[in-house]
Amino acid sequence: MTAQIIDGHAVAAKLLEDIAHDIEQFTLTHGRRPCLATVLVGDDPSSHTYVRMKRNRCAEVGMESRYVELPTDTTTADLVAEVQSLSADAAVDGILLQHPVPAHIDERAAFEAITPGKDVDGVTMHSFAAMAFSEKGFHSCTPGGILRLLDAYDVPLAGQRAVVVGRSPILGKPVGMLLLARDATVTYCHSHTWELADQVRGADIVIAAVGRPELIHGEWIKDGAVVIDAGYNPGNVGDVDYTGAAERARLITPVPGGVGPMTIAVLLEQTLAAANSVHFG
């Protein structure tokens, strides 16, 4: 068996096309474009690359992008004040705080300064609770993108055993909540799980989100399973041994080109939704 590749670029391109059309209609109706404010602290090269990609996508779909760059020595209090100012700014519809922030900053405090209605990256405790309780709110963008990919490829979720390897508050934990809401049976694992291989071998759907290159061995994958690799490590390496896993899986995401494009597309979709909620309630 050779796995079919899940093409994140293609799925994201269709979503971005729809977003661009809706933004055009929004702009004609309201006389302004939806606005995403991006906050970047420090000079981490990867973070600058990610922010540039997000701003470029904003331009492509006709969305306004406001860029706030702060020095590495910014304090938690200063960052919180900046985020609170954006939260209070009626011209800003969504706020993205690029993470990780420098180690001396309390990242959680900075996230919680984002008002829930503008948390289009789904990083606050309010958004996590909304995901866990299936209430109205914004999804964490990568988990939301993963669910979109599964739906685009008609992957059944109800009754399926999904193993999530990773437990971060903006990826591993929320994707498990979203899968559970769709009636999957979810098992959380991580780098310290005993007999991790046995857990993965029983999975119909594997979500790798632990941030360790090729932690998931190809021979662990059950024949016919669906593999979503949300890891991204130096050298364009995911958390899954792609070559080995592709010999067993039915569907698999590449790294890059799988999950990544969907993260940005969902971010822009949720920014448009935030703009619409201001006007339509």
Beta strands at 64-70 and 161-165: parallel, antiparallel or unpaired: unpaired
Give me the catalytic one of 93, 121, 229, 241. 121
- Nearest to 200, CA basis, from 227, 236, 182: 227
**Active-site annotation holds for 151:** no
Alpha helices (H) along 182-241? 196-201
**Active-site annotation holds for 121:** yes
Structure tokens at 91: 């011209």
Phi, psi (rounded to 5 degrees) for 245: -65, -35
Give me the catalytic one of 22, 93, 98, 229. 98
Question: Is 249 in contact with 208 (CB distance < 8 Å)?
Answer: no
Give me the catalytic one of 54, 118, 173, 222. 54
Give strand ranges (E) for the chain. 4-5, 35-41, 64-70, 94-97, 161-165, 185-189, 205-208, 226-229, 251-252
**Active-site annotation holds for 160:** no
Which residues are annotated as catalytic? 54, 98, 121
